[in-house]
């Protein structure tokens, strides 16, 4: 019996990645679904399962003091620098199998495929413990710890049972006091790559397997209040109304229209409530949310200013006052240009046209980018569906991603011109 | 000391009407507000207070078996027919002093002012016990009883404590079995007039004290569902969305625009909800209510057909399905043309230009109109405010209404050409 061809080996490994993701998805805190929140009992079982696979691959493993599972493939080279492959293994409630775990298990498969191939750098594979922010209402706690940005405020946050982050860490058998010692990335880390599903419909629409991420969008969240006058729906003629909902509705149409005509902008009104909210009363007050995202901060700010002016104008036509409050702002994070270019080339060598895309969702890569040259590789997401049990990947796209990561590892040299930027 | 002039007497009686309304408003089931629901303890106290005033005026009084307080001023004429003055004394929760009681106490004041003046008809003054529909979630129970339209289904309705209408009647010391005997209007009733506050801003806007009601609008209540696709607000480009809220918003603007340009039409979206209703998720489903009113049924139906087509069109642009359900329909009720004309003339003789208006709200007059020639007189409502503790009337408008009712009584003859219509 002959050895399998390279293509057959990759296909087999891609199948294993998917099988492992599905096996991991059965490890859950809520029977019948896939739910693994930060430092939960299922997280420990997930660590046990993945640690077994990592050790089979000959890797050294450890769990740092914020609960990240980390494995290292050492280079034979003295003073080798470190390349990081990462994603997360916590999930949203009732999640799919791939958002997070795919990046970890694809990284592991790449290392397995490398076998004994010598590389001039160490590889650290990190399974972050908290990306989704479900348990403490705050995402990225574990990548903040890895980049030295976790604060005592973060540690004092409490979950719905009143348990603090610090207490949860202790209960898991870890020590929050050791976070500064055990969590940071290796100081000689020269690049970090996260493989993740797109979670959107763009790649499917363009019939592409992969994309490289050029930036993670900045995001602003606002709440607008439209204050008109509640009135009897029968006795108040149209001309004598100050209908807060009519004003808000005109504005929502304006939001949609403006964003549709502005490249790379997305703007969403996701929630609206009417007061008093009776079928026979003209709405006096409307609360509406606004989520605006763009890969450039200045463009996002310009869009918000324009949209608030539109809200004012829609209100002014009807005697409706508009008040807006910014609830949160997150600046855009460009991915490392050089590393993204190398990743694009690695895909191209394998025959994939991984065009640049921006990520409309936040990722740990945003946090790591503040510390080390970082980029992301996106895989097509069937139906754009994520955060849902039906979340899926195509086997051929997993092969493409695995081949791309292998190509990157085999052609990358420490200090590929990226560190100079920092 | 000379007798007061007629104008002084009317002004004094108008002041008494307002004083009595305010005294009655202190009789409440909920201390600190004005709340008198159907057949409540406060209703009994209200009956006691008003009965005292009625008897001082020399009237015979009784409470019929649905709890209506009724007083009669008999004509000396043998075989005299009956003229009905009516309104209601139940209130919404946390009501004002005038919605309902004003019509009863203005009727009483008119009778007091008549003194011994002979009239060729009896006058029955009715204080209906249930117009607002608070207790059993259904209005007009007491006027339905007076017109022979109360059904066993009505009697079986239950309040929030599980008490049926029939049980509530019995608990009040009345007998539901006697409703067909004690409740009907006198068979020779030839006309019925309800005096009521407008509850809207139209008279104030036109600087008028009074209006005669030409019709009570028909009303349709619908619920629309806009079914799009929930998607991630960050990863779903504008062009790949099926945003249910954007479709609903365009439709709400259409509703407002159409009604504003269509005489006598009012159309209101009073409540809207988004699902899943998260700031960062494109709304997949929107539920919205629609309340449409017009004094002509065919115009109302045409408006609804047009507005549903607009909803379909707004949805079609976005891949959003629209589904509409009619929750209730109430046909328009024209007031008796002849009686309304007489009422208009009665106002004109007193120097008031009581223009025809349509009532955008429902009233007992709607129910009585099915049995006897009926109309309504509206008084200006400061700020258009009703169903609120700050509800008010102007003394000079009460004088105008009282003078108008007196003019009508003094010039009306039984069978003023109105009965022939029926």
Averaged over successive runs of 10 residues, the pLDDT of chain B (422 residues) comes to: 78 98 98 96 98 97 98 94 98 95 98 96 98 92 97 96 98 98 97 97 96 97 96 94 98 98 95 93 96 97 98 98 94 97 97 96 96 98 92 98 98 62 36
Residues A260 and A364 both lie in one domain = no
B298, B330, B362 — which closes off a domain?
Answer: B330
**Chain A residues closer than 8 Å to B278 by CB:** 270-271
The nearest alpha carbon in chain A to B270 belongs to A279
- Cα distance between residue A345 and residue A235, in whole Å: 68
Kindly report the nearest CA distance between residue B60 and chain A, in angstroms: 36
Residues B47 and B170 both lie in one domain = yes
Question: Strand, helix or coil at A323?
Answer: strand
Token pair for B294: 């017009």
Looking at residue B418, its pLDDT comes to 42
Residues A202 and A69 both lie in one domain = yes
Any bridge partners for residue A292, and if so which?
Answer: A220, A267
Kindly report the nearest CA distance between residue A222 and chain B, in angstroms: 9
Residue with tokens 């010391």: B173
Q: Is the dihedral of CA B112, B116, B117, B121 positive or negative?
A: positive
Looking at residue A1, its pLDDT comes to 44
pLDDT digits (tens, 9 = 90+) for A189-219: 999 999 999 999 999 999 999 999 999 999 9
Question: If you count them, how many residues does chain A have?
Answer: 422
Q: How confident is the model over A101-125, as a mean pLDDT?
A: 97
Identify whether B194 is part of a domain.
yes
Identify whether A202 is part of a domain.
yes
B291: nearest Cα among B317, B272, B312, B309: B272
E strand intervals along B317-368: 321-330, 333-334, 355-359
- State the CATH number of the domain containing residue A32: 3.40.630.10
Identify whether B156 is part of a domain.
yes
- State the CATH number of the domain containing residue B283: 3.30.70.360
Looking at residue A306, its pLDDT comes to 98
- Residue A350 confidence (pLDDT) above 60: yes
A264, A299, A330 — which closes off a domain?
Answer: A330
Token pair for B231: 């998607």
Half-sphere exposure of A346 (CA within 13 A, CB side): 25
Residues A361 and A409 both lie in one domain = yes
- Residue A418 confidence (pLDDT) above 50: no
Nearest by CB: A266 against B233, B251, B386 = B233
pLDDT digits (tens, 9 = 90+) for A260-314: 999 899 999 999 999 999 899 999 999 999 999 999 999 999 999 999 999 999 9
Looking at residue A393, its pLDDT comes to 98
- Residue-number span of the structural domain to which B240 is assigned: 218-330
Q: What's chain B's average pLDDT?
A: 95
DSSP structural state of residue B33: S
Pairing of strands B60-63, A374-379: unpaired
Residues B307 and B231 both lie in one domain = yes
- Cα distance between residue B128 and residue B47, in whole Å: 11
- The CB density around residue A233, as the number of other CB atoms within 10 Å, is 28
Looking at residue B422, its pLDDT comes to 34
Residues B326 and B263 both lie in one domain = yes
Identify whether A404 is part of a domain.
yes
DSSP structural state of residue B284: S
pLDDT digits (tens, 9 = 90+) for A56-102: 999 999 999 999 999 999 999 989 999 999 999 999 999 999 999 99
Looking at residue A2, its pLDDT comes to 52
Identify whether B354 is part of a domain.
yes
Identify whether A255 is part of a domain.
yes
The verdict on a CB contact (< 8 Å) between A291 and B234 is yes
How many domains does chain B divide into? 2
- Cα distance between residue B192 and residue B372, in whole Å: 7
A33: nearest Cα among A100, A91, A94: A94
Residues B386 and B353 both lie in one domain = yes
Any bridge partners for residue B333, and if so which?
Answer: B216
Residues B295 and B363 both lie in one domain = no
pLDDT digits (tens, 9 = 90+) for B36-55: 999 999 999 999 999 999 99
Kindly report the nearest CA distance between residue B320 and chain A, in angstroms: 15
**Buried-state track A177-207, b at ≥16 Cβ within 10 A, e below 16:** eebeebbebbeebbbbbbbbbbbbbbbbeee
A207: nearest Cα among A352, A89, A82, A404: A352
Looking at residue B3, its pLDDT comes to 65
- Cα distance between residue A320 and residue B266, in whole Å: 19
Residues A227 and A152 both lie in one domain = no
- Residue A143 confidence (pLDDT) above 80: yes
- Cα distance between residue B69 and residue B53, in whole Å: 12
Looking at residue A78, its pLDDT comes to 82
pLDDT band per the 50, 70, 90 thresholds, residue A420: very low
- CA–chain centroid gap for A247, Å, is 34
Contact B88, B24 (CB under 8 A): no
B285, B311, B330 — which closes off a domain?
Answer: B330
Any bridge partners for residue A273, and if so which?
Answer: A287
Helix axes A395-411, A101-114, angle to 10 degrees: 60
- CA–chain centroid gap for A60, Å, is 27
Q: Is the dihedral of CA A156, A162, A167, A169 positive or negative?
A: negative
Residues A234 and A311 both lie in one domain = yes
Q: Mutating which of B235, B265, B294, B325 best tests the A interface, going by the most A Cβ atoms within 10 A?
A: B235
**Chain B residues closer than 8 Å to A333 by CB:** none
Contact A88, A132 (CB under 8 A): yes
Instruction: Note the ipTM here.
Output: 0.88
Pairing of strands B210-216, B333-334: antiparallel
Cα separations (Å) of A14 from A343, A396, B106?
Answer: 19, 8, 87
Q: Where are the alpha helices (DSSP H) in B26-177?
A: 41-56, 101-114, 141-146, 152-156, 165-171
Residues A305 and A319 both lie in one domain = yes
- Cα distance between residue A249 and residue A261, in whole Å: 19
Q: What's chain A's average pLDDT?
A: 95
- CA–chain centroid gap for B414, Å, is 26
Nearest by CB: B235 against A198, A270, A281 = A198
Pairing of strands A231-232, A285-294: unpaired
**Chain B residues closer than 8 Å to A280 by CB:** 221, 268, 270, 291
Identify whether A1 is part of a domain.
no
- Residue A151 confidence (pLDDT) above 80: yes
The verdict on a CB contact (< 8 Å) between A386 and B232 is yes
B281: nearest Cα among A380, A131, A360, A298: A360
Residues A287 and A297 both lie in one domain = yes
The verdict on a CB contact (< 8 Å) between B291 and A234 is yes
Kindly report the nearest CA distance between residue B329 and chain A, in angstroms: 13
Identify whether B1 is part of a domain.
no
Residue B265 main-chain phi, psi, to 5 deg: -90, 135
Instruction: Give yes or no for a cis peptide into A276 (omega within 30° of 0).
Output: yes
Cα separations (Å) of B373 from B255, B347, B422?
Answer: 35, 19, 8
A206: nearest Cα among B232, B244, B239: B239
Rg (CA), chain A: 24
Nearest by CB: A249 against B249, B280, B281 = B249
A338: nearest Cα among A216, A212, A217: A212
Residue B393 main-chain phi, psi, to 5 deg: -135, 160
Q: Is A388 exposed, middle or buried (0-12, 13-18, 19+ CB in 10 A)?
A: middle
Token pair for A257: 């229209």
């Amino acid at each position: 019996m002959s050895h399998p061809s390279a293509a057959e080996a990759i296909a087999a490994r891609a199948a294993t990645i998917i099988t492992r993701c599905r096996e991991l998805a059965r490890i859950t805190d809520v029977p019948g679904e896939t739910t693994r929140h930060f430092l939960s009992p299922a997280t420990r079982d997930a660590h046990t399962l993945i640690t077994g696979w990592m050790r089979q691959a000959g890797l050294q493993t450890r769990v740092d003091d914020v609960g990240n599972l980390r494995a290292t493939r050492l280079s034979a080279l003295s003073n080798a620098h470190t390349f990081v492959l990462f994603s997360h293994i916590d999930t949203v409630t009732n999640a799919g199998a791939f958002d997070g775990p795919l990046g970890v298990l694809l990284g592991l498969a790449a290392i397995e495929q490398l076998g004994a191939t010598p590389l001039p750098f160490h590889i650290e594979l990190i399974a972050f413990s908290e990306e989704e922010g479900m348990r403490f209402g705050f995402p990225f706690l574990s990548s903040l710890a890895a980049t030295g940005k976790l604060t005592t405020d973060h540690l004092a946050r409490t979950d719905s049972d009143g348990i603090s982050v610090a207490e949860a860490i202790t209960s898991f058998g870890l020590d929050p006091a050791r976070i500064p010692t055990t969590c940071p990335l290796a100081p000689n880390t020269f690049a970090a790559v996260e493989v993740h599903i797109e979670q959107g419909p763009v790649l499917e629409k363009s019939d592409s397997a992969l994309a490289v991420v050029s930036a993670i969008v900045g995001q602003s969240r606002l709440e607008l209040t439209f204050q008109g006058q509640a009135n009897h729906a029968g006795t108040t003629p149209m001309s004598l109304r100050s209908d807060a909902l009519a004003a808000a509705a005109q504005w929502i149409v304006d939001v949609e229209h403006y964003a549709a005509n502005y490249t790379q902008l997305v703007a969403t009104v996701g929630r609206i409530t009417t007061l008093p909210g009776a079928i026979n009363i003209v709405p006096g007050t409307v609360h509406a949310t606004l989520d605006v995202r763009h890969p450039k901060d200045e463009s996002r700010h310009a869009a918000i200013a324009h949209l608030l002016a539109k809200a004012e104008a829609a209100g002014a036509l009807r005697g409706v006052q508009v008040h807006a409050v910014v609830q949160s702002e997150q600046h855009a994070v460009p991915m490392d240009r050089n590393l993204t270019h190398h990743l694009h080339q690695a895909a191209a060598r394998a025959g994939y046209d991984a065009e640049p895309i921006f990520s409309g969702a936040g990722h740990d890569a945003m946090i790591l980018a503040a510390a080390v040259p970082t980029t992301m590789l996106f895989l097509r997401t069937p139906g754009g569906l994520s955060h849902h049990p039906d979340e899926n990947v195509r086997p051929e796209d997993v092969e493409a991603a695995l081949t791309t990561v292998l190509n990157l590892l085999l052609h990358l040299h420490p200090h590929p011109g990226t560190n100079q930027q920092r």
